[in-house]
Structure 1
Amino acid sequence: MSAGTTRVLVADDQTVVREGIVMLLGLLPGIEVVGAAADGEEAVALVERHHPDVVLMDLRMPRVDGVEATRRIRAAHPETEVVVLTTYADDDSLFPALQAGARGYLTKDAGGEEIARAIADVRSGAAGLSPQVQLRLLERLSEGRKASPGTPEPAPAPAARAAELPDGLTTREAEVLALIAEGLSNGEIAQRLFVSPATVKTHINNLFAKTAVRDRAQAVAYAFRHGITGTHQ
């Protein structure tokens, strides 16, 4: 195995799908499949045995589902990233998976190039979310901001907005969180807010500590739950 090889475990309860994914991954450069699991319980056991870099995780599986398996894997092996690969992109599947610690989320119509990109993204510390999933996250964030019909409310004053923020977030940290939810990189956030990348990194470290999220994917889910978006405007 070369130094640049990413070791991947596949978890899917459908044999044909599982074998197809393994075959597809075998054709991608820089990826080595180290195991294949038929359910979440087996996935947890194989992670313990093989210590893969990334797990491609189906969600709806017998014995232990993908969300619970993701939670167990991330708790016991935080160095192993999880990319969900599922048929479903509904909210009841998406948000629990991100909250459990998944850093990537793809649907099974993704091609080999998109899967490889998601694996590379989570390995580098970014979120590996498909365009469809990113759009759904932004739609839900937008829906959360809409006032009830016929009852428009003026935007709160900065002091009032700061007082309403959860977990002791400052207004600036909320601005950074909202931009993370829009999919901006640290460099893009720095340009938007006219601050240095080092300052952005400090804000991100602070808001991650305050909100107890582990990565950008969980930060997006947190922003959705608390309606933190657009605060930079």
Structure 2
Amino acid sequence: MIRVALSNDYEIALLGLAAMLAQHPDRVQIVDLTTETDMSHDPDLVLFDTFGRLPEEDAKLRQVIESNDAKVVVYSWDDYPEEAARRQGAAGYLSKSLSSADLVAGIVAIHEGRQPTAPTDDGDAELTWPGQVHGLSAREAEMLTFIVRGLRNEEIARRAYLSINTVKTYIRTAYRKIGVTNRAQAVAWGFRNGFGSTDETGV
């Protein structure tokens, strides 16, 4: 049984991830769901969900790695590249495209010092994120978190390894879905709807 801690800035994202892992109680035990950097229950492995994070110089990821003896594994979409995670000291990387079974298999493999195998099917629907109930996709919601944190489009594009046009497209569709027309309105909407991060290290 592998003792797993889940780390992210947003509690709603942690709950979705916990629901996925809870389907496999014979292989993993969730011992922490936290927005903090220090795990309090001595896990074997920390799964660091990158929702709302940017891969360039992620101070919180480094703090989680430095504050815990457990292996820290980054759990992310492709726009937070594996090489960026490993450059900052992560012991492994697992994609959010994985099903719950493949995610757990990946956790077991990394814990045992092996490379995870390729996924066998698409990801589960249990993943949750801020703004999901308002129709925002995970990528649109992440763009909104960066706006709430005060980043300009150019900085988001540079630090997230996305083209400026891709960033603008995500933002336009997010604005349309939440019924705002400018950045100030988007920031105000974000704070009213759970996009205020617990992280004090920035992005």
Question: TM-score, normalising length from structure 1?
Answer: 0.43
Question: TM-score, normalising length from structure 2?
Answer: 0.49
| Bigger Rg over Cα | 1
